A and B are shown apart, each in its own frame.
Chain A
């Protein structure tokens, strides 16, 4: 057979332009498509609804303008904004501090709990997957209305977020120094403090700053369910049809969140 092969190699054809699709993928695609069409009919705004809604939206905006700049109102708003930031700051700091041991207990290959590390892991997942407004409702009904419920919500939220990232960062920390210290008989806590934490510090700071940013955004809306902060003022404004107050508050929220993002960005760059 070797003698009959032609000296020119067979030309390889370029792959087809269209991706080939398996029958299973095709079925899934059709089902999802059908689901989408049916759902759209049920929940998407109909053209009439939009046509009616738009003028009302315009009317609302008109009633919101100009934002209220009455000094008495601005002062009250200022205190509420301060409370919002306090909730965010205190909640984040507590959350980060609790996340450190939680992340350590949950980290694969590092946790002193062995297979039981799945318990802290599951707790962190629970904290993360239940939305913050639900936590806020829970805390409002157990701790009462006000900022304390808000702070607790941020603590839980932060543990859900930071606990996971801290654990992952510790799992990815450089293994060689850890092995070097374990070999001479260093215990787990000194290895954590002496080798793991220094190694992952930039990641820890990064996630904590993200958590703070997230907490400010979250604490703004917590007031809607009575957990303190500026959101409470916003709810009152809407409930009492004080739209010029509402617009001032929305503007303030916009500025706070932007300022926070700017600040954390700067800090992150500094700690890289």
Chain B
């Protein structure tokens, strides 16, 4: 990847990743013949660079094109910049260079307030260590996922929330198989249950895009796989675009349609999951 960040150049939509690549998969952004049918673009980034105010350069010249219905795994070693990239793409962190178009909002460094509000309304988040309010009930935690949406000022406690949302929360809890825990306190759940609640809290927003930063990192292998499966199945069933980071190669290979690897501040490779071998994966972390 030798590209210099191209600034503010309106770029025609790049090809999606539907057509199989031939021969050796290229390293870097794919500029391939256009796919027959293009799903709507969810995230587009051109020449994206991020340097923290303290001078820490994280990545530069990143091009990324994520389309609807894709489940994208973002991999890279500790400090490669996965979390930073995610935050830049959804406008929670200003980027230093390049242009981003996420969910139809086009912005340079950071979205303006109105764009940010619109973005947040369409995005669900799941973090490592769930970030639930421990001393509140599971139901309240799920309903709090509605905060930030119009008319949500009462949604900070289930007892005050409007009835449709309470019912919706129970339905979403049933989807993550936790309806029976609705009135349990969040700090009495196991790690896997808590992460399922966090997924429910993200799903209740009915997001178009689901962002998950190491959703299975603190879970044991069996529970971790369980979470990843719930995740990717729900995303597929609800037509939600899923972008997640992981350190677990198997999670990346098993639960994604596409893998983007970050290394040395660049996109190391970006391919359909079926075309990624374990050796490619190894190359991300060594050598």
Tell me if B144 and A186 are in contact (CB < 8 A).
yes
- A199 and B131 alpha carbons, distance in the complex (Å): 12
- Chain A positions 187-209 with a Cβ under 8 Å from a chain B Cβ: 187, 189-191, 193-195, 198-199, 201
- Which residues of the partner chain B approach A185 to less than 8 Å between Cβ atoms? 116-117, 120-121, 147-148
User: Is there contact, CB below 8 Å, between B135 and A199?
Assistant: yes
Please determine whether B144 and A194 come into contact, CB atoms closer than 8 angstroms: yes
Q: Does A172 contact B (CB under 8 A)?
A: no
Decide yes or no whether B129 CB sits under 8 A from chain A. Answer: yes
Chain B, residues 182-199, CB within 8 Å of chain A (1/0): the string is: 000000000000000010
A184 interface hit (Cβ, 8 Å): yes
B144 & A176 in contact (Cβ 8 Å cutoff): no
Measured between C-beta atoms, what is the minimum distance from A35 to chain B in Å?
49
- Cα A187 to Cα B132 in complex, Å, equals 17
Partner of B147, one of A174, A186, A199: A186
Task: Say whether B134 contacts A194, CB under 8 Å.
Answer: no
Query: Which of B130, B131, B157, B205 has the most chain A CB within a 10 Å cutoff?
Result: B131
Instruction: Verify A183–B133 contact, CB threshold 8 A.
Output: no
Interface size in chain B (residues, C-beta < 8 A): 30
B127 at the interface (CB under 8 A from A): yes
A45, CB-defined interface residue at 8 Å: no
**Residues in B neighbouring A183, C-beta threshold 8 A:** 92, 120, 125
CB neighbors of A among B108-137 (8 A): 116-117, 120-121, 123-125, 127, 129-136
Q: In the complex where A185-B148, A190-B147 touch, is A180 in contact with B135 (Cβ < 8 A)?
A: no
B145 at the interface (CB under 8 A from A): yes
**Chain A, range 167-188, C-beta contacts under 8 Å to B:** 174, 176-177, 179-181, 183-187
Number of interface residues of A (CB under 8 A): 20
Residue in B closest to A179 when the chains form the complex, CB atoms: B131
Instruction: Give which listed residue, A174, A179, A190, contacts B156 with CB less than 8 A.
Output: A190
Cβ contact of A198, chosen from B131, B136, B147, B201, cutoff 8 A = B136
Q: Indicate if B227 sits at the interface (CB-CB under 8 A).
A: no
B153 at the interface (CB under 8 A from A): yes
Closest to B146 in A: A184
Q: Which of A177, A186, A189 contacts B132 (CB 8 A)?
A: A177
Q: What secondary structure prevails in chain B residues at the interface with A? A: loop
Least Cβ distance of A116 to chain B in Å? 21
- Residues of chain B with a CB closer than 8 A to A194's CB: 133, 136, 140, 144, 147, 155-157
Contacts A183-B92, A184-B148, A185-B147; A195 near B133 (Cβ below 8 A)? yes
Q: Is the CB of A180 within 8 A of B136?
A: no
A200 CB to closest chain B CB (Å) equals 9
Q: What is the bound-complex CA distance between A194 and B129, given in angstroms?
A: 18
Residues on A with beta carbons closer than 8 Å to the beta carbon of B117: 185
Q: Which residues of the partner chain A approach B144 to less than 8 Å between Cβ atoms?
A: 181, 186, 194-195
- Is the CB–CB distance between B147 and A184 below 8 Å? yes
Between-chain CB contacts (< 8 Å), 17 pairs: A177-B131, A180-B201, A183-B92, A183-B125, A184-B125, A184-B148, A185-B116, A185-B148, A186-B144, A186-B148, A189-B153, A190-B155, A194-B140, A194-B157, A195-B133, A195-B156, A199-B134
Interface of A toward B, CB cutoff 8 Å: 174, 176-177, 179-181, 183-187, 189-191, 193-195, 198-199, 201
Residues of B within 8 A of A (CB): 92, 116-117, 120-121, 123-125, 127, 129-136, 140, 144-145, 147-148, 152-153, 155-157, 198, 201, 205
> Given A176-B131, A184-B124, A185-B116, 17 other A-B contacts at CB below 8 A?
A177-B131, A179-B127, A180-B127, A180-B130, A183-B125, A184-B123, A185-B121, A185-B147, A185-B148, A186-B148, A186-B152, A187-B153, A190-B156, A191-B156, A194-B155, A194-B157, A199-B133
